């Protein structure tokens, strides 16, 4: 039993007076390439990381979800019967919307859920662009699956997590975050085709790490701007269908077609479309570079992705630009870019293990000089995906 599992198991016993029936670990994720292309049916290259949500749970016969968020020292509950969105919880219990959204999505799909008692904790930074919400969703899906006697495919679980975001939280996100949390594999990146929902595992070269630098800026605009970006991409497809019959998504638009018809698009929509077209190409080229063990070429694609997110998709902020530009200058750092929805959150940098101390120092020094505060840094390893295990009962 690792430290986190023991912590949530002991906390569960102290709160509910008996041992949990199941424990769950569900990781956060970083996306190395392919930003804002999942909902355009393109390709992305995420991985699960060794920061996770840890959960302990047992069934109850009350028809309630009784949940303790250990990190926030808060508790909340909701009834499972006749559960419909929007359920919305008050601001100081907004975290409860994530398990509530999962319960809604699973019941909407026809699954009968048991009442559960839960405690959970997380080492995934909240609002930083490393998918703390998807980790919470995955953890609760696995807990309800185990305790309600369900047997779901990994893809079905990812779809349920996405459905809770789309239908309950009102965020029109793609499936990448939940897919990565659930399908992660140790030391393997996930080349996900967001149309077919199939993936290939791409080895992450040994001797390297992912450094995550959190700007400390929470993404207040991310949800509304995320939905706006998605609408602009859909508008591009609709307008271009007049010239390219059968065009289904921006994933299908070639660079040559974009260049031929870009003038038919409004300026902002034109920029969004160009980002998606070029970003899809970057993902495929970057994956091929990694197959060849060529981190230098891969890192160049990562840098170009940040520039495109900044200039074409317009989701960066000064803090993220400073962090990325600083990382680009550090020897042994192959590439760096923002990750997640944008408008705050994190950058990720891929660096040789020997370069991590110098990279961390450079990021801290530059950020302090520019903004008078330090970024939150952590080094992530590529980790396995979410899993539930029967709790180890004390004797």
SS3 284: helix
Structure tokens at 356: 């991590």
- What is the rounded distance in angstroms from the CA atom of residue 189 to the CA atom of residue 382? 7
DSSP 23-42: EEEEEEEEEEE-TT-GGGT-
Task: For residue 177, indicate whether it is catalytic.
Answer: yes
Characterize the bridge pairing of strands 346-352 and 333-339. Answer: antiparallel
Burial of 238 by CB count in 10 Å (0-12 exposed, 13-18 middle, 19+ buried)?
exposed
- Assess contact for 337 and 215: CB atoms under 8 A: no
Sequence-ordered list of residues with C-beta below 8 angstroms from that of 232, at least 6 positions apart, any chain: 268, 269, 272
Give the distance from CA 77 to its chain's centroid. Answer: 25
- What is the rounded distance in angstroms from the CA atom of residue 384 to the CA atom of residue 48? 6
In 10 A of CB 390, how many CB atoms?
Answer: 10
DSSP 263-279: GGS-HHHHHHHHHHHHH
The set of long-range contacts for 360-363, using a CB threshold of 8 Å and a minimum separation of 24, is: 360/211, 362/326, 362/327, 362/329, 362/330, 363/211, 363/213, 363/323, 363/326, 363/327
Give the distance from CA 135 to its chain's centroid. Answer: 8
Selection from 316, 330, 223, 313 nearest residue 277 by Cα: 313
- What is the rounded distance in angstroms from the CA atom of residue 226 to the CA atom of residue 345? 14
Sequence-ordered list of residues with C-beta below 8 angstroms from that of 88, at least 6 positions apart, any chain: 97
Which listed residue (38, 71, 82, 177) is catalytic?
177
- What is the rounded distance in angstroms from the CA atom of residue 3 to the CA atom of residue 258? 52
**Catalytic residues, which ones?**
177
């Amino acid at each position: 039993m690792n430290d986190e599992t023991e912590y949530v198991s002991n906390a569960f016993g102290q709160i509910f007076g008996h041992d949990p029936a199941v424990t769950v670990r569900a990781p956060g994720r970083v996306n190395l390439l392919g930003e804002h292309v999942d909902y355009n049916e393109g390709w992305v290259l995420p991985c699960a990381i060794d920061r996770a949500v840890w959960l302990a749970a047992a069934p109850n016969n009350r028809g309630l979800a009784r949940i303790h968020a250990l990190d926030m020292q808060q508790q909340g509950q909701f009834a499972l019967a006749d559960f419909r969105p929007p359920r919305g919880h008050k601001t100081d219990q907004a975290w409860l919307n994530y398990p509530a959204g999962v319960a809604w999505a699973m019941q909407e799909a026809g699954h009968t859920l048991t009442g559960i008692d839960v405690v959970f904790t997380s080492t995934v930074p909240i609002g930083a662009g490393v998918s703390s919400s998807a980790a919470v969703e995955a953890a609760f899906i696995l807990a309800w699956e185990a305790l309600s006697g369900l047997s779901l495919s990994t893809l079905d679980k990812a779809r349920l997590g996405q459905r809770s975001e789309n239908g309950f939280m009102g965020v029109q996100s793609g499936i990448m975050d939940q897919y990565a949390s659930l399908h992660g594999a140790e030391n393997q990146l996930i080349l996900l085709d967001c149309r077919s929902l199939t993936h290939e595992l791409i080895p992450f070269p040994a001797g390297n790490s992912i450094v995550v630098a959190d700007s400390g800026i929470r993404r207040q605009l991310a949800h509304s701007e995320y939905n706006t970006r998605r609408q602009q991409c859909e508008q591009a497809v609709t307008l271009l269908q007049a010239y390219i019959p059968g065009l289904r998504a921006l994933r299908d638009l070639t660079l040559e077609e974009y260049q031929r018809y870009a003038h038919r698009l409004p300026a902002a929509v034109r920029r969004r479309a160009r980002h998606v077209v070029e970003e899809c190409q970057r993902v495929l080229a970057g994956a091929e570079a990694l197959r060849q063990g060529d981190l230098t070429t891969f890192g160049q694609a990562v840098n170009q992705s940040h520039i495109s997110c900044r200039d074409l998709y317009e989701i960066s902020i000064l803090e993220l630009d400073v962090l990325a530009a600083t990382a680009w200058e550090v020897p042994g750092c192959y590439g760096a870019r923002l990750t997640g929805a944008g408008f705050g959150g994190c950058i990720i940098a891929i660096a040789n293990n020997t370069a991590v101390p110098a990279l961390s120092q450079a990021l801290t020094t530059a950020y302090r000089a520019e903004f008078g505060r330090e970024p939150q840094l952590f080094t992530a390893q590529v980790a396995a995906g979410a899993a539930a295990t029967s709790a180890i009962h004390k004797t």
